[in-house]
Amino acid sequence: MKGETFVVESWVELQEVLYEDSWTPDLNRFRSSYVYRGMEDVAYDLSTSLNRLG
């Protein structure tokens, strides 16, 4: 599944992107629907490190 990519330059910008429009009244809290990709290089495959080793 392909998603939208955001590149941020600061911690504050990351917080703004993650929590924009994320208020969930039922929970009475902010709940972001984004997930951390887990890899610093966008070119890396999203497989596990063991799978990447072969």
pLDDT digits 0-9 by tens, 20-51: 999 999 999 988 887 766 677 778 777 887 88
Q: Strand pairing partners for 29? A: 24
* 8 A C-beta contact, residue 17 and residue 32: no
| Least confident among 3-7, 8-12, 35-39, 40-44 | 35-39
How much is the pLDDT for 34?
Answer: 77
Q: Which residues contact 40 (CB under 8 A, 6 or more apart)?
A: none
Q: Return the structure tokens found at 16.
A: 């703004």
How much is the pLDDT for 11?
Answer: 92
Predicted TM-score (pTM) of the model is 0.50
Maximum CA pair distance of the chain?
45
